[in-house]
Structure 1
């Protein structure tokens, strides 16, 4: 299976000569949900910005469906829907107007759009809020609006940064159910989250970033195996949170992101 997204030897950042990312490699396959995990400042958001084309690689490249942004900018951008950590909405526009604007940008068929909006509004309990201006929405409702805009356009790849912030428990449950549905229908998702106990049960694989480098990648079980191979300590019953801490805990890592007891 050819990967949908291929991040290939990516080095990049905000200034030349001072990269934030160092030779980052990972893929996302069709119908797969990959969790991008790491401490604050590990490079997760910077990686997403490079994938979105908001930043240019200093070295390496990013391809979506085999094409780069430079080669086919329109096709590349239309293949991604992005939900940022903090909602970005036009205060004077209503929820419905945001949805129409997003669907128009992606060329969504009108009949499909109407069905999707009805379904998403019910799913996220937003039916009675569709005609409210963004300035009158709570933070959670703004987050739901961003999610609805992304899910209404049905691209091959969803990039979602900290999707659970601001959502109530029912909203989180609805989101997880819909992400699973999208995956079953063949869409791919790259999800960054600190709530490891939640994404552990939904992601197929994980990419662990630390200090701008890929420290480990694979399933939760593979992360355990890789840690053991490098001299780390982990139990068979440990959950993803425990494995994550064992990889990045201060006792376990030296300043270069290596396991200190393995030096």
Structure 2
């Protein structure tokens, strides 16, 4: 399968003298969901900020669809969709106007926009909130807004940071169903999460980040082989690896 995201030997953070992540390497390919897991402070958010182009690596290289941020920032940004952990929105725009803005940013015409927008509103149960402002929303509704904006543009790569936090059970099921659908249609998805049972069920590979370095990565079976325990859950594997570290 084609590699969509390549992270090669990346060391980085906010200070060159005190890197948060060191020599991090992994990839995300077409038609797969990859979980990025680690304790608080392990470097997950820093890794994601480097991928988004918000931080410049001190060493190493990141490319999306063969493009680096330094070489072509616009094409690089258009190659991914981002669902943040904390919703980011415009106070003066309604939900519908946020979706229109997302569509305009990628050059979608009105017919394509409406064809995509109405199913999203319906499946995320946000039809009644269409013309309301985000300040009137609950945290979960704001999170759904971020999710719908990313799904609207249908990029080749999704960067998803703790997407389940704040969602109700129906919202979680709808999101995971959409991500599975995007995967089947050829997208690659990098998902940072603390909910390991969900990651085990929906993700194809796992990256365990610990103290800024990759402790292990691979499929569930490959991680089980590393521990020598063929029946361990992802949760048990993860706890064993970080406690040993």
Q: Which runs of 5+ in 2 are unaligned?
A: none
Q: What is the DSSP-based 3-state SS (H/G/I as helix, E as strand, rest coil) of the residue aligned with 2:3?
A: coil
2:233 paired residue among 235, 239, 246: 239
1:160 match: 160
Shift of residue 32, structure 1, vs aligned partner: 1.2
Shift of residue 207, structure 1, vs aligned partner: 0.7
The answer (yes or no) to whether the contact 2:224–2:231 under 8 Å persists in 1 is no
Q: For the aligned residues, what is the CA RMSD?
A: 0.9
Q: What is the DSSP-based 3-state SS (H/G/I as helix, E as strand, rest coil) of the residue aligned with 1:45?
A: helix
2:130 match: 130
Normalising by structure 1, report the TM-score. 0.91
Q: What is the DSSP-based 3-state SS (H/G/I as helix, E as strand, rest coil) of the residue aligned with 2:201?
A: coil
Q: Which runs of 5+ in 1 are unaligned?
A: 229-234, 254-263
Which of structures 1 and 2 has the larger relative contact order (alpha carbons within 8 angstroms, sep 6+)?
Answer: 2
Q: Do residues 73 (structure 1) and 73 (structure 2) align? A: yes
- Structure 1 or 2, whichever has the larger Rg, is 1
The list of structure 1 runs, each at least 4 consecutive aligned residues, that deviate by more than 6 angstroms after superposition, is none
Q: Do residues 25 (structure 1) and 19 (structure 2) align? A: no
Q: What is the alpha-carbon distance in structure 2 between the residues aligned to residue 200 and residue 122 of structure 1?
A: 28
Q: What is the alpha-carbon distance in structure 2 between the residues aligned to residue 103 and residue 46 of structure 1?
A: 28
Q: What is the alpha-carbon distance in structure 2 between the residues aligned to residue 108 and residue 12 of structure 1?
A: 35
Normalising by structure 2, report the TM-score. 0.98
1:9 match: 9
Q: How many residues align?
A: 245
2:37 match: 37
2:142 match: 142
Q: What is the DSSP-based 3-state SS (H/G/I as helix, E as strand, rest coil) of the residue aligned with 2:119?
A: helix
